[in-house]
Amino acid sequence: MERILERYERNAYVEQQLVTNDAELQGCWSLEYPNLKSRIEVLEKNIRNFMGGDLEPLSLRELQYLEQQIDTSLKRLRNRKNQLTHESISDLQKRERALQDQNNMLAKKLKEKERTLTEQQNQMAQNSSPLMPTFPSLTIGGNIQVMMRGSVIDEPDENQTRQNMRSTVVPWWMHDHVNHS
């Protein structure tokens, strides 16, 4: 029960503090309001003057001061614009260098992979050569020519057969067979 009462007293005390703070804030705001209102009016008048309105009631000094403020603001804007442009150019140059480096690195990797692939293909070609001996090709030109002309296959001329035999490479094991036929 004591705990409940202690919690109640603490919460009641916190509420009293909040009410007291609200009253103090209300007093501060009521004092601040006129100052803030006059400040807003001055700023709105300056904005109208900067935009070119309400210039007739201004004196020569006020106009010169306004012109000086506009010039100063314009210089600041130009300086800031130039600074941002230079920063942007610098960032773009850094990005260009990084991309160029990345491009060079990728080109090196590509060349290395091409070189490795070429070496592997050469090794495979060298390794496969002893396993698979190359055989001379057997070409029979006379029969192909007759079939291409579309005519009936007749016995070829003896001169034509000899010419085909001279130009055609025949393996050694078929040599006797070709001579006997």
Q: What is the pLDDT of residues 95-107, one digit of tens each?
A: 999 999 999 999 9
Q: What is the mean pLDDT of residues 141-154?
A: 43
pLDDT at 33: 86
Could you identify the residue written with the tokens 């592997």?
120
Do the beta carbons of residue 107 and residue 117 sit within 8 Å? Answer: no
Half-sphere exposure of 176 toward its Cβ, with a 13 Å CA cutoff? 1
Give pLDDT, residue 8: 75
Contact 146, 153 (CB under 8 A): yes
**Top-confidence residue, 14 or 34:** 34
Band of pLDDT at residue 76, cut at 50, 70 and 90: very high
Give pTM, 2 decimals: 0.42
Q: Is the model more confident about 141 or about 16?
A: 16
Return the number of other C-beta atoms located less than 10 Å from residue 156's C-beta.
15
Question: Can you tell me whether residue 111 is helix, strand or coil?
Answer: helix
Tens-place pLDDT, residues 106-123: 999 999 999 999 999 998
pLDDT surpasses 60 at 75? yes
* CB contact at 8 A, 45 and 54: yes
Instruction: Name the CA radius of gyration of the chain, rounded.
Output: 51
pLDDT mean over 29-58: 86
Mean pLDDT of 45-56: 84
The residue-averaged pLDDT of 37-58 equals 87
Residue 170 near residue 138, CB atoms below 8 Å: yes
pLDDT over threshold 90, residue 51: no
* Angstrom distance (rounded) from CA 164 to CA 145: 11
Higher pLDDT, 48 or 165: 48
What's the confidence (pLDDT) of residue 145?
Answer: 40
Residue 51's SS3 state is coil
Region of poorest pLDDT, from 1-5, 16-20, 40-44, 68-72: 16-20
Report the SS3 class of residue 57.
coil
Indicate the average pLDDT of the chain.
77
